[in-house]
Chain A
Amino acid sequence: MKLITAQDISKVYKLGDIDVNALCDVSLGIERGEFIAVMGPSGSGKSTFMNILGCLDKPTTGHYLLEGIDVGRLSRDELAAIRNKKIGFVFQGFNLLPRTSALENVELPMLYNGLPAKERRQKAMEALKTVGLEERAPHHPSQLSGGQQQRVAIARALVNDAAIILADEPTGNLDTKTSAEIMELFVRLNKGSAITVILVTHESDIAAYSRRVIRFLDGRVIRDEEPVRR
């Protein structure tokens, strides 16, 4: 069974009287352990696609099967549970809670699946170790560099043993050197732990880390291929 199966997914937004087709009949499959870059100009539908993959949004028509479950039929809370267990989000702006230590930020997803405090702490420390930040556990986001904050966010995405990491321009706010470090981390996670990584990017440098590039234009997939290697 494929990890992700998208069948004729369309998404229509209503903007006043006008219907905007953000996605038109997108069909594709993603296997476990893939490393995918999603590219396309703004307005191409890639963000909408990522929101649907992340169970933050439902397709207007078509089916999105995640591990064989038709996500479109689930309730708000059921979607929240799936996001909690199967999906880890990494955002361009890091989206850590301010005034909250790195450790507690990483613990956050486990607050919502009822793990006891001790186990939460332990797993959060492990996740921080995976991203090489165990010494920064008590620091608040404001005391961390951009790269460190992004690594805390990745630890938070990992901590519930997510099957998929969805990263929306994860290096958009970082310099080239730090971007490379973050991408190495994704590669390591993808290879070592067989986590499926799907990231949105504008830069072909970043896309080059992946093993498959999906390009969007006007709500459709126009190319689905291996990246251009340097």
Chain B
Amino acid sequence: MINIPSTLKIALRALKVNKMRSALTMLGIIIGVGAVITMLAVGRGASQKISEQIASIGSNLIMILPGATTAGGLRMGAGTQPTLSVADAEAIKKECPAVSDVAPDLSGGAQIVYGNQNWSTVVRGTTPGILTVRDWPLALGRSFTEQDVKGASKVCLLGQTVVENLFRDMDPVGRILRIKKLPFTVIGVLTKKGQSPQGQDQDDIIYVPVTTAQKKLFGTAFPGMVRIIMVKAMSPEALDPAEKQITALLRQRHRIGPKQEDDFTVRNLTQMMQTQEQAAKVMSLLLGAIASVSLLVGGIGIMNIMLVSVTERTREIGIRMAIGAKTWDIRLQFMIEALTLSLTGGVAGIILGLGGSKILSVLAGWSTIVSPLSILLAFGFSGLVGIFFGFYPAYKASLLNPIEALRYE
């Protein structure tokens, strides 16, 4: 029969006798657990940040860019050939079942004037679908309608940065500002979206109907031409089918033969971001794995000190055996000692890890997130380390011959 409370008391006493030694042994585990928690927090923080950015550009997003022009065998970059049109966008929305919404984009820089304030920003001509495609709700006012698009109305939606720079604290809805000297009525204000994954300010933007942009702001030689078509797929699973359907449809619409190259490029933005997120996760695992090496080293420290302890206390073991301690009584005594070391170190390590994550996020400005799971994991792992590395010394102690152990000086 094994008496856990008394065995625990014996173990604690043994650790108290060698305070310095116990503390140093624990330090290995403290550093290990602290490192694991901090590294996992850094990794998690990074992937969380990427996830937020994915959400900010809009989920399940596909971008279609016009193809590259080839002039005298010299191929230019993607988007240099004006091949996409508003009609393409409408066709995609109508004919691709995996697509939930579509928004074309024709943009350019423009100087905006309101009263005595002026601001230079990006004006994007688009359709009402943009708000769905980019998961971007309005803060104030209303969106423009299909009617506005058909009639090329001079209405606009403002990003928060534009509002701040032109209107300060005023309510801009209903006011008239000038884009390239033309008067536009502000009908709505977008909510704040923050930085894009590339670090651009996404709120520094004005949306106008695509027709208005084509006819009144950025007149082009190709009527109906747009620079980008943004597409939202029905679901993450629909991204691949949507991509295929769009490619097939556009090839057909652009009359591209089976052997010819596409005159457009389809980019699955969400997938790209997800790849990045995956990379961040892998990195956090890697960091965690490296940190757990130090936990392992801490465990070896425990084993080392427990072996010393068993040798030092050979006579004590002999006495205990003589008065009736069984194999497992002795084993448990030493294993509980090892576990006490590793778990106490684990708790201190958790505190160190929490502190370390906090310090990193304050001093280095990294976003760190300590998940309860990582705490549990690190604590459980330190317990396992204690059991694993405590077993051999305990096993060795339990196999001592009582007669010899009693004679040990």
Contact = CB atoms under 8 A, between A and B. Distances in A.
A binds B: yes
B6 A95 contact: no
Given A91-B406, A99-B13, A84 B3 contact: no
A96 B323 CA distance: 11
A81 B324 contact: yes
7 contacts: A54-B322, A56-B322, A81-B324, A84-B324, A89-B322, A108-B323, A112-B326
B20 interface: no
Contacts of A111: 3, 6-7, 325, 329
B319 interface: yes
B320 interface: yes
B316 A112 contact: no
Contacts of B6: 111, 117
Nearest to B398: A76
Contacts of A109: 323-324
Nearest to B328: A77
B329 A112 contact: yes
B13 A80 contact: no
Interface string B1-17: 11101110000010001
- State the majority secondary structure of interface residues on B: helix
Interface string A62-95: 0000000000000011001101110001010001
Contacts of A80: 321, 324-327
B279 interface: no
B193 interface: no
B14 to A, nearest CB: 9
A192 interface: no
A180 to B, nearest CB: 26
B368 to A, nearest CB: 44
B324 A51 contact: no
A57 interface: yes
B396 to A, nearest CB: 15
Band of interface residues on B: 20 to 34
Band of interface residues on A: 20 to 34
A89 B324 CA distance: 11
Interface in B33-67: none
Contacts of B290: none
A16 interface: no
Interface of A: 51, 54, 56-57, 76-77, 80-81, 83-85, 89, 91, 95-97, 99-100, 108-109, 111-114, 117, 156, 160
Contacts of A160: 324
B324 A83 contact: yes
B281 interface: no
B324 A114 contact: no
Contact of A99 (B5, B17, B320): B17
Nearest to B316: A97
A103 to B, nearest CB: 13
B320 A108 contact: yes
A124 to B, nearest CB: 12
B251 interface: no
Pairs of residues from A and B, 7 with the lowest C-beta to C-beta distance, nearest first: A84-B324, A114-B1, A112-B324, A77-B326, A109-B323, A80-B326, A95-B319
A56 B327 contact: no
B403 interface: yes
Contacts of B403: 51, 56-57
Interface in B214-268: none
A217 B117 CA distance: 118
B158 to A, nearest CB: 76
Contact of B327 (A57, A76, A85, A100): A76
A200 B329 CA distance: 29
Given A108-B320, A112-B1, A112-B320, 14 more contacts: A56-B322, A56-B403, A80-B324, A84-B323, A89-B323, A95-B315, A97-B316, A97-B319, A99-B13, A112-B323, A112-B326, A113-B1, A114-B2, A117-B5
A189 to B, nearest CB: 17
Contacts of B318: 95
A170 B379 CA distance: 49
A95 B323 CA distance: 11
B183 interface: no
Contacts of B7: 111
B402 interface: yes
B347 to A, nearest CB: 26
A114 B3 contact: yes
A112 B325 contact: yes
Nearest to B399: A76
Contacts of B315: 95
A109 to B, nearest CB: 4
Contacts of A117: 5-6
Nearest to A57: B403
Contacts of A83: 322-324
A77 B322 contact: no
A195 to B, nearest CB: 16
A108 B317 CA distance: 12
Contacts of B2: 114
Nearest to B2: A114
Contacts of A76: 326-327
A95 B319 CA distance: 7
B262 to A, nearest CB: 79
Contacts of B323: 83-84, 89, 108-109, 112, 156
B406 A85 contact: no
B402 to A, nearest CB: 5
A54 B13 CA distance: 29
Contacts of A156: 323
Nearest to A120: B6
A95 B406 contact: yes
